Chains A and B, each alone.
Chain A
Amino acid sequence: MAGIKLTNLTKTYVKDDERIDVLGGIDLDIPSGSFVMVLGESGSGKTTLLNLLGALDVADAGSIEVGGVGDVCRISDRALSDYRNAVVGHIFQTFNLKGIYTAFENVRIPLLFTPIAPGEARQRITAALEAVGLADRMFFRPIQLSEGQCQRVAIARAIVNDPKVLLADEPTGNLDPKTARHIMDLLVRLNKERGITLIMVTHDMTLLDYADRVVTLEHGGIRENTPEDVAAIRRGIAALRGAGGL
């Protein structure tokens, strides 16, 4: 599976003549098959990091070494498309499903760009939808599904090509706590059973328990949260729960 090594990764945005160093040369090593949760305030560069990892954006400097692929920052546009198709899967907060398509058709979209036979494509779509527990909703449109089900379809779309890395950008952000937990259970299952490296961005501290590792982006840098940090956060959350704050 694909381990990921970020070296001196830099990304700067210029807005109204103001330079914003979102990522100021971060280094990060993510072993294959791990579940890394990325925390940080709004604007700290969490989504930017995911976009760079998913080759949806281009870094200004540094490198992203992905096992079996090489430095994503140095490959051609065409190879980047293949990388997005075969190596990574994206999950978004707003699901980003195509409203006029059924669940089956939405999951099929990545396979359009994969040279496989139609029969095999059907098998893969069915398997992906079964994996997210939506085998009986295959031909429903997003409008006929609940939000949790929509996110499951989006997850099925992300895993249909059997990616090595899943990049989830606040996947539970639009869901109620119960549904959020179901989605997290599903993601963890995929991470553990399939060995998919899972990198998830969230604001929701209650989800920390699910991750193997938690990192925080702040001031353009990255900070590794020690087990003690995580334990402190958990205690804080427990206390808040007890006081009815969460």
Chain B
Amino acid sequence: MRFALQKNLALMALRDLVSKKVRLVLNLLGIVIGVSALLFLLSLTEGMRKTILRELVGSIPVTEMTATPAEKDLPVPDLGRTMKMIGVQRGESLVLRQQLRGDMTDETVRRVEALPGVRRVYGVRTLKRVPTSVQGWFFGFEKADFNTETVVFGYPRELLEGDVEDLSDYAFRPTAAFDTHPFHTKFSTDVDRALLMTRMDLADAEGSYVPAVLSRQLLKAYNLSFAATEGLEALQRVSEKSLIGQLIYVRFGRSEDFYTEQHKVEPLGTVIKVVGLSDRVPMLGFAVPPEYLGLWEDAYFKAPQPSVYQQLIVQARSVADVEPVRQALLPVGTRLRALREARKLSIKETAAAAGLTPQEIEAVESGPIRSTMNDKEAHRLIRAYASALGAGAAQMAAAYDRGFDMEVVSKKETIDKINSVTTFVRFAFVLVVAIILGITAVGILNVLTMSVYEERVDIGILRSVGARKGHVRFIYLLKAFLIGLIGSLAGLALGWLAMVGADALAHALLRRMAYAPETFFIAEWRFVALSMAMGIGFAMLAGISPANHAARLRPSAVLRSA
């Protein structure tokens, strides 16, 4: 019985609203549009956020970051032009750029692993000195000879655990090094094809293939772009399952298409077998046990090569450790520049505060400090710069001494960036919808105020038979609430329909687009709750003034007006 009065008053309010249908619909319209737009837009941003995160981060832990040596500046203004002048061609510019980066050794791995907050460091080798391409038939492409540049990554097994389903075959087999009689780039005859097929079957039978893990992103890109393109009927879509166990021929050497004669050596080749797919393997390459890389480099150059890493995969102990570890690996100049920019100081201002020239500040920031001056001079500049910013001078000098000078891409940073952009976009959408709902609220305020005037005799009657001021206020607030509730529910339904429709339309229009997600919308409960809360909240805000006005009406005055 306790809520019987409230229930009856609610029914009374509902009947009053429904009795004026046109007015109710007009009142609801703004709420419906606002709520449906909000749900639609929030779900779209979440769909985009999740899709981008899935593509960029995949299943890789958030505590992980990738560190590569910072690129050294060449003392020439235009690297591309210079390369052209000295006869380096397109394909080699990438190799040359890579070689400009420093190499990392086991000693680097140990030093990074010793940093506070670091759980584990994996050194990753790439076959950067040996141009590599894959070619041949696989997964039924009997008519399509393909020949594409690739990068080979040496990934230790532990790095792939948890991502690749079955790693039992992922092990180093010394027998599977290079073929001494490699196959040529172009298969001009059926005999060539037959020979290659025989060679691949033989490697499979002998177990002398190299186990390889392909990029899951590559497969996805292939399926959503090349395989989906009209006119290339031979390129069917490929499932992960059908890819595992396939044999691919890999050729090491410089093709006539890409490389200059002076770098050309006799090509070599080997057979790899796909044992799994991973989110971690970059799109443009495949991963093999790292032991192969040394063997292949030695065989290619016919001389032992130094054992170096081109990339470190650093795992922090916790998410909170990611940023300190990242900072410790960055070049001192990058850290100082970030500090300066955070304090909104110009180079000139900083130079004046530090007692240095702007050129010296730029030299510290741009990084070639180690290659252009001695340590004593570098220390002097770094200490003066750090002191001018109020940063720890000794700490920065020590960071210079450690000399990691790396470019670090942390998964957390990527996720944080995506999340902050999404949050900003969401905030903008919420603001736009708030404006729509605000305008609607003014309309509701107007209509409810009119209702109070029209129903003043009813209000007088209610007061004359025992309704308290609070009851009258409750009825009008409830009317506003019901407008918000009904409008919000209708808005959610409309938003949902719009999402289904937009999804279907987008898939029809973008079906050949790479990375088209299964759905563009992810409607989470919190979006539903926020949309409803805003719809109801704005309606109720609009109801406060009319409700108070109704409660304050003097019954004798309104009954006399009847």
Query: Which listed residue, B458, B463, B471, touches A98 by the CB 8 Å rule?
Result: B458
Is the Cβ of B559 less than 8 Å from the Cβ of A92? yes
A109 surroundings in chain B (CB, below 8 A): 461-462, 465
Query: Which residues from 99 to 137 on chain A have a C-beta closer than 8 Å to any C-beta of chain B?
Result: 100-101, 109-110, 112-115, 117-118
Q: Could you tell me the distance between the alpha carbons of A56 and B12 in the complex, rounded to whole angstroms? A: 22
Selected interface stretch from B3-11, B101-109, B187-195, B230-238: B3-11
Is the Cβ of B468 less than 8 Å from the Cβ of A81? yes
Taking A47-B560, A51-B556, A56-B559 as contacts, is the C-beta distance between A114 and B19 under 8 angstroms?
no
Task: Answer whether residue B15 sits at the interface, using C-beta atoms and an 8 A cutoff.
Answer: yes
Query: Which listed residue, A57, A94, A114, touches B466 by the CB 8 Å rule?
Result: A114
Q: B526-562, CB under 8 A of A: which get 1 and which 0?
A: 0000000000000000000000000000111001101
Task: Answer whether residue A201 sits at the interface, using C-beta atoms and an 8 A cutoff.
Answer: no
Q: Could you tell me the distance between the alpha carbons of A110 and B12 in the complex, rounded to whole angstroms? A: 13
Is the Cβ of A84 less than 8 Å from the Cβ of B559? no
Residue picked from B8, B16, B19, B460, most chain A C-beta under 10 Å? B8
Query: Which listed residue, B16, B466, B471, B560, touches A110 by the CB 8 Å rule?
Result: B466
Is the Cβ of B15 less than 8 Å from the Cβ of A110? no
Q: A73-100, CB under 8 A of B: which get 1 and which 0?
A: 0000110011011100010101010101
A117 surroundings in chain B (CB, below 8 A): 1
Q: Could you tell me the distance between the alpha carbons of A110 and B5 in the complex, rounded to whole angstroms? A: 11
Query: Which listed residue, A47, A81, A100, A112, touches B19 by the CB 8 Å rule?
Result: A100
Chain B residue nearest to A115 (CB atoms) is B1
Task: Answer whether residue B96 sits at the interface, using C-beta atoms and an 8 A cutoff.
Answer: no
Residue picked from A54, A81, A115, most chain B C-beta under 10 Å? A81
Is the Cβ of B555 less than 8 Å from the Cβ of A113? no
Q: B6-26, CB under 8 A of A: which get 1 and which 0?
A: 001100100110010000000
Is the Cβ of B555 less than 8 Å from the Cβ of A85? no
Chain A residue nearest to B20 (CB atoms) is A100
A152 surroundings in chain B (CB, below 8 A): none
Is the Cβ of B466 less than 8 Å from the Cβ of A82? yes
Task: Answer whether residue A157 sits at the interface, using C-beta atoms and an 8 A cutoff.
Answer: yes
Residue picked from A48, A57, A77, A157, most chain B C-beta under 10 Å? A57
Q: Could you tell me the distance between the alpha carbons of A62 and B5 in the complex, rounded to whole angstroms? A: 35
CB distance from A104 to the nearest CB of B (A): 14
CB distance from B548 to the nearest CB of A (A): 15
Chain B residue nearest to A86 (CB atoms) is B466
Task: Answer whether residue B59 sits at the interface, using C-beta atoms and an 8 A cutoff.
Answer: no
Is the Cβ of B5 less than 8 Å from the Cβ of A54? no
Task: Answer whether residue B464 sits at the interface, using C-beta atoms and an 8 A cutoff.
Answer: yes
Is the Cβ of B562 less than 8 Å from the Cβ of A94? yes
Taking A81-B467, A81-B468, A113-B467 as contacts, is the C-beta distance between A57 and B9 under 8 angstroms?
no
Q: Could you tell me the distance between the alpha carbons of A100 and B458 in the complex, rounded to whole angstroms? A: 11
Q: B465-491, CB under 8 A of A: which get 1 and which 0?
A: 111110100000000000000000000
Q: Could you tell me the distance between the alpha carbons of A213 and B494 in the complex, rounded to whole angstroms? A: 67
Task: Answer whether residue B457 sits at the interface, using C-beta atoms and an 8 A cutoff.
Answer: yes
Query: Which listed residue, A57, A78, A96, touches B468 by the CB 8 Å rule?
Result: A78
Is the Cβ of A77 less than 8 Å from the Cβ of B562? no
Query: Which listed residue, B19, B554, B559, touches A96 by the CB 8 Å rule?
Result: B559
Is the Cβ of B468 less than 8 Å from the Cβ of A77? yes
A-B contact count (CB 8 A): 70
B8 surroundings in chain A (CB, below 8 A): 112
Query: Which listed residue, A56, A98, A112, A114, touches B464 by the CB 8 Å rule?
Result: A56
Is the Cβ of A100 less than 8 Å from the Cβ of B468? no
Is the Cβ of A100 less than 8 Å from the Cβ of B465? no
The size of the chain A interface, using a CB distance under 8 A, is: 30
CB distance from B460 to the nearest CB of A (A): 7
Taking A56-B555, A56-B559, A100-B16 as contacts, is the C-beta distance between A110 and B1 under 8 angstroms?
no
Is the Cβ of A100 less than 8 Å from the Cβ of B15? yes
Q: Could you tell me the distance between the alpha carbons of A109 and B554 in the complex, rounded to whole angstroms? A: 19
Is the Cβ of B559 less than 8 Å from the Cβ of A110? no
Query: Which listed residue, A57, A81, A112, touches B556 by the CB 8 Å rule?
Result: A57
Chain B residue nearest to A97 (CB atoms) is B461
A48 surroundings in chain B (CB, below 8 A): 556
Residue picked from A77, A85, A109, most chain B C-beta under 10 Å? A109
A112 surroundings in chain B (CB, below 8 A): 5, 8-9, 12, 467
Query: Which listed residue, A82, A96, A113, A114, touches B457 by the CB 8 Å rule?
Result: A96
Q: Could you tell me the distance between the alpha carbons of A161 and B467 in the complex, rounded to whole angstroms? A: 14
Is the Cβ of B460 less than 8 Å from the Cβ of A84? no
CB distance from A156 to the nearest CB of B (A): 12
CB distance from B464 to the nearest CB of A (A): 5
CB distance from A102 to the nearest CB of B (A): 11
Q: Could you tell me the distance between the alpha carbons of A109 and B471 in the complex, rounded to whole angstroms? A: 13
Is the Cβ of A56 less than 8 Å from the Cβ of B466? no
CB distance from A57 to the nearest CB of B (A): 4
B555 surroundings in chain A (CB, below 8 A): 56-57
Chain A residue nearest to B455 (CB atoms) is A98
Is the Cβ of A84 less than 8 Å from the Cβ of B466? yes
Is the Cβ of A56 less than 8 Å from the Cβ of B556? yes
Q: Could you tell me the distance between the alpha carbons of A96 and B4 in the complex, rounded to whole angstroms? A: 25
Query: Which residues from 324 to 375 on chain B have a C-beta closer than 8 Å to any C-beta of chain A?
Result: none
Is the Cβ of A56 less than 8 Å from the Cβ of B463? yes
B559 surroundings in chain A (CB, below 8 A): 51, 56, 92, 96
Query: Which listed residue, B15, B16, B466, B556, touches A113 by the CB 8 Å rule?
Result: B466
Taking A77-B469, A117-B1, A118-B4 as contacts, is the C-beta distance between A84 and B464 under 8 angstroms?
yes
Is the Cβ of B461 less than 8 Å from the Cβ of A98? yes
A157 surroundings in chain B (CB, below 8 A): 465
Q: Could you tell me the distance between the alpha carbons of A213 and B468 in the complex, rounded to whole angstroms? A: 34
Is the Cβ of B5 less than 8 Å from the Cβ of A113? yes
Query: Which listed residue, A84, A94, A118, touches B465 by the CB 8 Å rule?
Result: A84
Q: Could you tell me the distance between the alpha carbons of A48 and B554 in the complex, rounded to whole angstroms? A: 13
Chain B residue nearest to A154 (CB atoms) is B461
CB distance from A31 to the nearest CB of B (A): 24
Q: Could you tell me the distance between the alpha carbons of A47 and B557 in the complex, rounded to whole angstroms? A: 11
Is the Cβ of A113 less than 8 Å from the Cβ of B461? no
A81 surroundings in chain B (CB, below 8 A): 463, 466-468
4 further contact pairs, Cβ within 8 A, besides A113-B467, A115-B5: A48-B556, A81-B466, A94-B562, A96-B460
Can you report 11 A-B residue pairs in the complex whose CB atoms are below 8 A from each other? Answer: A48-B556, A56-B463, A56-B554, A57-B555, A84-B465, A96-B457, A96-B461, A98-B458, A100-B19, A109-B461, A113-B467
Q: Which 6 A-B pairs have the closest CB atoms?
A: A85-B466, A110-B465, A57-B556, A113-B466, A51-B556, A56-B556
